[in-house]
Homo-oligomer: A and B are copies of this chain.
Amino acid sequence: MPRFANSVTDLRSSEIRDLMSLATAPDMISFAGGMPGNELFPLETIDRIYQSLTEKEKQIALQYGPTTGLPSLLESLSDYLEKKGLPVKSNRLMITTGSLQAIYILAKAFIDPGDPVLVETPGFIGALSAFRSCQANLISVPLNGDGMDIEQLKRRLETTLPAPKFLYYTPNFHNPAGIIYSRKVKQEMTNLLKGREIPVIEDDAYSELYFYEEDIQEMQLMKAADPEGIDVCYTGSFSKILGPGLRLGWMLVPDGIYRKCELIKQSIDACSPSISQMIADKFIRREEIYDYTANIRKEYKKRGLAMIGALEAFLPAYVTFEKPRGGFYTWLRLPEGSDSTAVLKRAIEKGVVFVTGKTFDPDGVKNDFMRVSFCNTDEETIRRGVPLIAEAIQEVCGP
Interface residues, chain A, CB within 8 Å of chain B? 1-8, 11-14, 17, 35-36, 38-39, 41, 43, 46, 50, 55, 58-65, 67, 97-98, 100-101, 104, 108-113, 115, 126, 129-130, 132-134, 165, 197, 199, 231, 239, 242-247, 256-257, 259-260, 263-264, 266-276, 279
Contact of A270 among B126, B259, B267 (CB under 8 A): B126
Q: Is the CB of A132 within 8 A of B267?
A: yes
A99 to chain B, nearest CB (A): 10
A155 to chain B, nearest CB (A): 22
Residues of B close to A12: CB separation below 8 A: 263
Residues of B close to A260: CB separation below 8 A: 4, 8, 11
Distance of A362 Cα from B339 Cα, bound (Å): 53
Distance of A6 Cα from B8 Cα, bound (Å): 19
14 more CB-based (< 8 A) A-B contacts, given A13-B263, A101-B269, A133-B267: A2-B110, A5-B108, A5-B112, A17-B67, A35-B64, A38-B59, A43-B58, A43-B59, A46-B58, A104-B267, A126-B270, A243-B275, A268-B268, A275-B279
Q: List 10 A-B contacts (CB under 8 A).
A: A1-B197, A5-B112, A11-B260, A14-B266, A39-B59, A62-B242, A63-B244, A100-B268, A104-B267, A273-B276
Q: Is the CB of A269 within 8 A of B97?
A: yes
Q: Is the CB of B3 within 8 A of A197?
A: yes
If A11-B264, A133-B264, A267-B132 touch, whether A2 touches B199 (CB-CB below 8 Å) is yes
Identical copies of this chain, number: 2
A66 to chain B, nearest CB (A): 9
Distance of A100 Cα from B63 Cα, bound (Å): 15
Q: Is the CB of B256 within 8 A of A2?
A: yes
Residues of B close to A279: CB separation below 8 A: 275
Residues of B close to A274: CB separation below 8 A: 244-247
Distance of A359 Cα from B113 Cα, bound (Å): 30
Closest B residue to A64 by CB, please name it: B244
Contact of A109 among B4, B13, B50, B231 (CB under 8 A): B4
Contact of A8 among B7, B64, B264 (CB under 8 A): B264
Q: Is the CB of B257 within 8 A of A2?
A: yes
Residues of B close to A61: CB separation below 8 A: 243, 245
Q: Is the CB of A41 within 8 A of B64?
A: no
